[in-house]
Amino acid sequence: MKGLYIVTPDWDDTPKLLATTEMALRGGAALVQYRHKSASAELRREQAECLLDLCRSYQRPLVINDYLDLCLALNADGVHVGGTDASVAQMRAALGPNKIVGASCYGSLELARAAHHAGASYVAFGGFYPSRVKKYPVTTSAEIITQSQAEIALPVVVIGGMTQDNAVSLVAAGADMVAAISSVYLAGDPEAAARGFASLFRSSQAGAALL
């Protein structure tokens, strides 16, 4: 897992959601998370089905935020769970060994250790910066990236107010993926925004090769 991880906003307009997601995929988004907490069950299913078809056409994984039943029904690529959702262990048991199970760990190494032990595929830390979409304490330090990688053999995702500029230091610290919502979906040119995020990882790989 490496690159830009886009998380969908709470848009009821399915054509707009699909068009913007496709622009981000063209720009190099590596993984898509479908997240729409306020959607009806019918709308959630419709949007997830359409997004899955789109992601399949770009050979990119789609994970579903929280809704295990929807993931199973569509045979999506996995789920992402937060601190108040079903446990990582429950998700892993239901999905088997080959699906993605991501875990929000906020600013806690203890949560990351527990997620690793329970079978998570990656750990997500944040928020690092204020977000236009979600409200949370902005208390996570960049040091948690190196601390996690030193003892937990899982990819690290960073989230929370990410822009191309402020993500640079986190990628340099070793973040494997940068998760973004508004910086891509609300950008004037989502494809260019995604391309800018994706370029951070090409730059970091080139820099590592010179060391």
The whole-chain average pLDDT of the chain stands at 92
Residue 52 in this model has a pLDDT that exceeds 90: yes
Q: What's residue 177's pLDDT?
A: 98
Question: Model-level pTM?
Answer: 0.93
Q: What's residue 139's pLDDT?
A: 73
Each residue of 70-95: pLDDT tens digit?
999 999 999 999 876 679 999 999 99
- Tell me how far apart the alpha carbons of residues 98 and 102 are, in angstroms, rounded to a whole number: 13
**More confident call, 79 vs 209:** 79
Domain over 3-210 is classified CATH 3.60.15.10: no
Q: Does 99 qualify as catalytic in the annotation?
A: no
Q: Does 37 qualify as catalytic in the annotation?
A: no
Catalytic residue among 26, 108, 134, 199: 134
Residue 68 in this model has a pLDDT that exceeds 90: yes
Q: Does 35 qualify as catalytic in the annotation?
A: yes
Catalytic residue among 92, 99, 104, 121: 104
Each residue of 111-155: pLDDT tens digit?
999 999 999 999 999 989 887 766 666 678 899 999 999 999 999
Catalytic residue among 35, 60, 92, 195: 35
